[in-house]
């Protein structure tokens, strides 16, 4: 082999070793960049995971809040309904008791009417009147009120016609001519209709 060829071969070898070193350096420089890119991707995926978790937790919180509000509304309705039922129960119980005492009032009214026409002792009249007045006052304190019927326009919401009576006066037609049995309301609600005779 000639000296020129040997020299050329050495130069080529040197060039190739330089190229190999350069390539190796390039690979080493590129590797950290790839690692950095991979860590960036991992970081992005972690952020996305956190965002998804936050959205999921916000959804759960909104649902729990909605359930709580609904539960509170249902409880409030239940409390109001229970209170109303208690009031209704007390009202019905008192109404039944007062309705049971109405015949006693009727008897007192009849007794007073009979005693008024008799010549018996004044003590009997006063005693009966006292009992009637006290009973009526007590019941009125509980919300009982008489239905005014005599001479009023006949009203089916308050009166029950048991008979009709022909009248000559035009202004008395369609009005209550006589009261057979007194009617009563309790706190504005009719508990017994007034039984009346209507003029026609």
pLDDT score for 132? 93
Q: Report the distance separating Cα 99 and Cα 87, nearest Å.
A: 18
Q: Which tokens in the block code for residue 97?
A: 């008791």
pLDDT tens per residue across all 200 residues of the chain = 455 555 555 565 455 444 445 544 544 554 444 445 555 556 668 888 888 899 999 999 999 999 999 999 999 999 999 988 888 777 777 888 899 999 999 999 898 888 888 777 788 888 889 999 999 999 999 889 999 888 888 998 999 999 988 888 878 888 898 999 999 999 888 999 999 999 88
Cα–Cα–Cα angle for 93, 144, 188, nearest 5°? 90
Please tell me the predicted confidence (pLDDT) of residue 26.
47
Q: What is the DSSP letter of 157?
A: T
> What is the per-residue pLDDT for 33?
47
Cα within 13 Å of Cα(29), Cβ side: 6
Query: What's 144-200's CATH class?
Result: mainly beta
| Contact indicator for 157, 115 with CB cutoff of 8 Å | no
Residue-level pLDDT at 173? 84
Helix (H) / strand (E) containing 166: none
DSSP-derived 3-state class of residue 134: helix
pLDDT of residue 200: 84
Q: Which two tokens stand for residue 177?
A: 């001519």
Place of tokens 């998804």: 52
Q: What is the pLDDT, as a whole number, of residue 199? A: 87
Q: Domain segments of the chain: what residues?
A: 144-200
Chain centre to alpha carbon of residue 193: 34
Are 149 and 183 in contact by the 8 Å Cβ rule? The answer is: yes
CA angle 95, 96, 101 (to 5 degrees): 95
Helix (H/G/I), strand (E/B), else coil: 25: helix
DSSP state, residue 199: E
In which residue are the tokens 């916000």 written?
58
- Between CA 42 and CA 45 the distance in angstroms is 5
């Amino acid at each position: 082999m000639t000296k020129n060829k040997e020299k050329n071969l050495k130069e080529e070898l040197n060039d190739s070793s330089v190229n190999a070193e350069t390539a190796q350096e390039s690979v080493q420089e590129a590797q950290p960049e790839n690692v950095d890119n991979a860590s960036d991707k991992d970081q992005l995926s972690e952020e996305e995971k956190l965002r998804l978790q936050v959205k999921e937790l916000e959804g759960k919180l909104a649902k729990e809040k909605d359930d709580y509000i609904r539960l509170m509304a249902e409880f409030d309705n239940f409390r109001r309904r229970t209170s109303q039922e208690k009031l209704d129960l007390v009202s019905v119980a008192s109404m039944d008791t007062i309705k049971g005492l109405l015949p006693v009032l009727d008897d007192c009214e009849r007794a007073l009417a009979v005693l008024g026409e008799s010549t018996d002792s004044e003590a009997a009249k006063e005693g009966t009147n006292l009992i009637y007045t006290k009973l009526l006052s007590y019941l009125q304190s509980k919300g009982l009120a008489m239905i005014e019927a005599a001479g009023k326009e006949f009203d089916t919401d308050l009166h029950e016609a048991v008979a009709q009576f022909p009248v000559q006066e035009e202004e008395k037609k369609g009005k209550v001519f006589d009261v057979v049995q007194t009617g009563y309301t309790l706190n504005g609600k009719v508990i017994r209709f007034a039984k009346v005779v209507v003029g026609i």
